[in-house]
Amino acid sequence: MNTPQVSCRSCGERELITILSLGKTPLANALLTLEQLSQKERTFDLDLVFCPSCSLVQITETVPPEELFREYFYLSSFSETMLRHSEENVEELIQSRKLDGNSLVVEIASNDGYLLQYYKRAGVPVLGIEPARNIAQTAVERGIPTICEFFDTDLAQKLVADGQRADIVHANNVLAHVPDLNGFVRGIQSLLKDSGVAVIEVPYVKDMIDRNEFDTIYHEHLCYFSLTALDHLFRRHDLVIEDVKHLDIHGGTLRIQARKQNARSTTVEEMLADEAAWAGNEEFYRGFGKDVERLRVELVSLLSKLKAEGKRIAVYGASAKGSTLMNYFGLGRPLLDFVVDRSTIKQGHYTPGTHLPIYPPGMLLQEKPDYVLLLTWNFADEILQQQDEYRKQGGRFIIPIPEVRVV
C-alpha cells in the first residue's frame, strides 16, 4: 500500500512546503501488456515538496519498493553513453585507488552489470546488489556475482559478518529511490573499509529546476538532491563528502565521494558556499511550476498544429521521464501514433496511462513518421546519431526539454 510522507525523509522536519503538483499519475515504469489495456490502472499522487530545515526536495507518496523494483524494465547496457561514462569512472578509480585482485568493489542497484563488468575485466573482485529479479538474473548470466536483495543496514551487516568489506561502494542513481535514506547511508558506512570510499551519483536538483526537467519527477524518484542536502545526510552518519563533480549525464548529475575519515576538498566547500544562496530558499523553487506550465502550452500547441497539418508524430523513448511528461501534459492518441525504444524488454508493451504501442527503433524507417518526439532527451546526441538514416530521409526530432526545439 502506498504511504503519504508527512515528514522529511532525511531530517524528520514536519513543515514541508509544496513546490509542484503533477496530479495523479500511473507508475512511470509500469508498462502494460495487451491484456492489461482493458484493466483499470492504479494512479498515485505526485506532489513535490521542499524541506526548509535540510534543503531536501522530495515527493510525498511512497510506493513500496517491492512493487516498483522486483520486476524492472530499464537495462543500463542499452545506453552507449552510460557504458562509456561507467568505463571511464572505473578506469579512473582503479588507478587512483590502486585496486587489484585483493580489493572488493560493491555496487548497489547494479542493474545488469553494466559498470561492474569493467572492474571484472581488470581483475578486481566485484559484488552486485540488485533487487529486480529479472535484471539480477541477467547480470549473473553475464558472470557478475549478484545478490538479489534491497540494500539496507541489515544486508550490510550480514556482508560484514561474512568478511566482505568494500574498498569502493558504488551507488549510481539509486539514492533518490530509497525510502529510508538514513538506513541506506548507515549501511554504506558499515560496509566500507576504514580506507574505503563511497562513489555516489544523484540527479542535481538545481539542474532540474534551471532546465525545466520536471519529467525526472516520478514515483521511483523519492528525492532530488542538492550538495547541501547530501552533506546534512552523510554527516549524520559519520561520512565526509570529500569531493564532488558536476556532470552533464542524465540532464545534470552530482558525483560525490564520501569517506569515514577525511576533510572536504576546496571544490566541496565552494559548491556548498554557492548553494547557500538558493538551496534553502523556497522562493528559488516557486517559479518552477510556472515554467513547467509554459512548457506544456508550447509543446501541446506545436504538436496540435502539426497534427492539424496532417503530420504523423511518433515518440522515441518508453522511459519513466517520458511517462511523466506524456501523462501530465495529456499527450497520447490522437496526437501521437506510437513509441520506439531500443530496449528489447520494453518492445511489445504499451506505455502507462497513454497506452501507445512500443516498437523497435527500426519502425521509424518502416513507417516514416514526419516527426519524432524525443522523450529520452538526456541521450539526445547518441540517439540522433543512431537515427541518422531516418533524418536523412526527412524525419525530424522534437526535443522538449529544457525548451521545445525541432532538429
pLDDT digits (tens, 9 = 90+) for 111-140: 999 999 999 999 999 999 999 999 999 999
Judged against a pLDDT cut of 50, whether residue 205 lies above it is answered with yes
Q: Between these two residues, 72 and 272, which has the higher pLDDT value?
A: 272
**Joined grid coordinates for residue 320:** 519513466
The arithmetic mean of pLDDT across residues 181-195, rounded, is 97
Q: For the chain, give the percent of residues with pLDDT over 70.
A: 97
Measured in residues, the chain has a length of: 407
pLDDT at residue 122, rounded to an integer: 97
Peptide bond into 352 cis (omega under 30): no
The arithmetic mean of pLDDT across residues 221-249, rounded, is 95
Chain-wide mean pLDDT for the chain?
Answer: 93
* 27 Cβ neighbours under 8 A, 6+ residues apart: 42, 44, 63, 67, 68, 218, 219, 220, 352
Judged against a pLDDT cut of 90, whether residue 396 lies above it is answered with yes
The arithmetic mean of pLDDT across residues 258-279, rounded, is 94
pLDDT at residue 282, rounded to an integer: 87
Ordered domains of the chain (ranges, CATH): 288-406 (3.40.50.720)
- Sequence letter at residue 32: L
Give residue 53's pLDDT band: very low, low, confident or very high (50, 70, 90).
Answer: very high
pLDDT tens track for 240-250: 999 999 998 87
3-class secondary structure per residue, the chain: CCEECCCCCCCCCCCCEEEEEEEEECCCCCCECCHHHHCCCCCEEEEEEECCCCCCEEECEECCHHHHHCCCCCCHHHCHHHHHHHHHHHHHHHHHCCCCCCCCEEEECCCCCCCHHHHHHCCCCEEEECCCHHHHHHHHHCCCCEECCCCCHHHHHHHHHCCCCEEEEEEECCHHHCCCHHHHHHHHHHHEEEEEEEEEEEEEHHHHHHCCCHHHCCCCCCEEECHHHHHHHHHCCCCEEEEEEEECHHHCEEEEEEECCCCCCHHHHHHHHHHCCCCCCHHHHHCHHHHHHHHHHHHHHHHHHHHHCCCCEEEECCCHHHHHHHHHHCCCCCCCCCEECCCCCCCCCECCCCCCEEECCCHHHHHCCCEEEECCHHHHHHHHHHCHHHHHCCCEEEECCCCCEEC
Q: For the chain, give the percent of residues with pLDDT over 90.
A: 86
Judged against a pLDDT cut of 60, whether residue 190 lies above it is answered with yes
The answer to whether 354 touches 336, Cβ cutoff 8 Å, is yes
The arithmetic mean of pLDDT across residues 357-381, rounded, is 96
pLDDT at residue 35, rounded to an integer: 95
Query: Measuring CA to CA, how many Å separate 349 from each of 225, 314, 324, 369?
Result: 32, 15, 17, 20
Considering only CA atoms, which of 366, 308, 301, 312 is closest in space to residue 336?
312
Give residue 1's pLDDT band: very low, low, confident or very high (50, 70, 90).
Answer: very low
